[in-house]
Amino acid sequence: MRVLITGAAGFIGSHLCERFLKEGHEVIGLDNFLTGKPDNIAHLFENPRFTFIKYDVTNFIYIKGNLDLILHFACPASPVDYMNHPIHTMKVDSIGTLNTLGLAKEKGARYVFASTSEVYGNPTVHPQPETYWGNVNPIGPRSVYDEAKRFSEALTMAYHREHHLDVRIVRIFNTYGPRMRINDGRVIPNFIYQALKGEDLTVYGDGTQTRSFCYIDDLIEGVYRVATAEGIEGEVFNLGNPEEFTILELARKVIRITGSGSGIRFLKRPVDDPDRRKPDITKAKEKLGWEPKVSLEEGLRRTVEWFREVLKP
Ligand code: UDP
């Protein structure tokens, strides 16, 4: 296949490029480096099947030749990042989604949209199945991400209904692993950095809020299956690890795994921070035969090892 991946230099995007290249496909990567990094894809340039274009997807996109598949993965995804770039985040997941859908229509390509567990907002249903419509504050600080993703899902389905485009939506729950930016503000990079530096780990609120953390390799396997499966046009899939932990449990785990002498410091909880989050992955299990394999313990070990290398002077 000839595959276009937006957000190619990002954490998930770069792993996706790698996977599609490994499977023998041709990959064209797009990224404007707003939150992605050239370092994430530097090693891919020696592959003749990889092309990279530094580009902002909120502009009209022209790609020469055919395309079989488009994966729209561009977008700041850390709450800190999207709150620093609120308007651009909204543009990437409105104009950028429109542009990439238009391109998919033009090329007759299959389309995969990277959505998020944030479409469920602060959920009142637990765990969250794909059939839950969510509980999102439309004007809060997180709305720039949540509502843009929701708009993009609606637009993706509109292209499916009106133009019969073969679309699929993945709702990605908290994912972690090598190539996350150490300072991207998300909880796992923050905790690992703080633990390795011997600083106190910053737990927001009392740490009783929960998240379910999926290791990057598991997530990529899920996305690859959604992108390549037959007979799932117009469907949405939760992808995430259903093992749920409180943030305080996570902090203690990171301290133990790193062997750090760090303590814990409790700070103010961000506005509209969801209280709990855990995917119901029954649908992905049944239709794709997919479920995560890497435990939080093992995934954290691998991630810590990677961050240790990155932080070496
Ligand atoms: N969090 C924390 N300390 C940090 C960063 C995040 O306690 O240094 C908490 C945050 O309040 C949230 C959870 O960890 O409850 C996950 O936050 P993250 O930014 O990783 O992503 P989210 O799941 O909120 O999108």
DSSP per-residue letters across 251-297 = HHHHHHHHT----EEEEPPPTT--S---B--HHHHHHH-------HH
Q: What are phi and psi of 304, to 5 degrees?
A: -60, -45
User: Residue 292's pLDDT band (boundaries 50, 70, 90)?
Assistant: very high
Can you give the pLDDT at residue 105? 98
Do the beta carbons of residue 43 and residue 60 sit within 8 Å?
no
Q: What is the pLDDT of residue 110?
A: 98
The 3-state DSSP composition of the chain as helix, strand, coil percent (nearest 5) reads 40, 20, 40
Residue 130 banded pLDDT, cuts 50, 70, 90: very high
Distance 37 CA to ligand 1 centre (A): 22
Rounded to whole angstroms, how far apart are CA atoms 160 and 192? 41
Looking at the annotation, which residues are catalytic?
Answer: 145
What percent of the chain lies above the pLDDT cut of 70?
Answer: 100
User: pLDDT of 182-239, one tens digit each?
Assistant: 999 999 999 999 999 999 999 999 999 999 999 999 999 999 999 999 999 999 999 9
Q: Cα of 119 to ligand 1 centre, how many Å?
A: 16
If pLDDT is split at 50, 70 and 90, which confidence band does 296 have? very high
pLDDT the model gives residue 155: 99
**Mean pLDDT, range 22-35, rounded to an integer:** 98
| Closest atom of ligand 1 relative to the 79 alpha carbon | 19
Query: Mean of the per-residue pLDDT values for the chain?
Result: 98
Q: Residue 260: what pLDDT? A: 98
Q: Where are the domains of the chain?
A: 2-176+214-242+278-293
pTM: 0.98
pLDDT at position 5 is: 99
Residue of 122, 187, 194 best suited for mutating to test ligand 1, as the one with most atoms within 8 Å of CB: 187
In the structure encoding, which two tokens stand for residue 162, read together? 């009106």
- What's the token pair of residue 276? 């709990």
Which residue, judged by its Cα, is nearest atom 18 of ligand 1? 186
**pLDDT confidence bin for 267, thresholds 50/70/90:** very high
Residues 36-55: tens digit of each pLDDT:
999 999 999 999 999 999 99
What integer pLDDT is reported at residue 310 of this predicted model? 94
Closest C-alpha among 152, 6, 130, 148 to residue 86 = 148
Locate the ligand 1 atom nearest the alpha carbon of residue 207 and give its number: 7
- Residue 270 CA: nearest ligand 1 atom is 11
Q: Whose CA is nearest to atom 21 of ligand 1?
A: 186
**Residue 76 and residue 11: Cα distance in Å, rounded?**
10
> For residue 222, what pLDDT is reported?
98
Write down the pLDDT at residue 176: 98
Binned at pLDDT 50, 70 and 90, residue 140 comes out as very high
Write out residues with Cβ below 6 Å of ligand 1: 78-79, 174, 186-187, 190, 202-204, 209, 211, 247, 269-270, 273
Q: What pLDDT is stored for residue 275 in this prediction?
A: 96
Maximal CA-CA distance, the chain: 58
Confidence (pLDDT) at 133: 98
Residue having the nearest C-alpha atom to atom 4 of ligand 1 = 187
Domain covering 2-176+214-242+278-293: architecture: 3-Layer(aba) Sandwich (3.40)
Residue 249 binned pLDDT confidence (cut-offs 50, 70, 90): very high
* pLDDT for res 247: 98
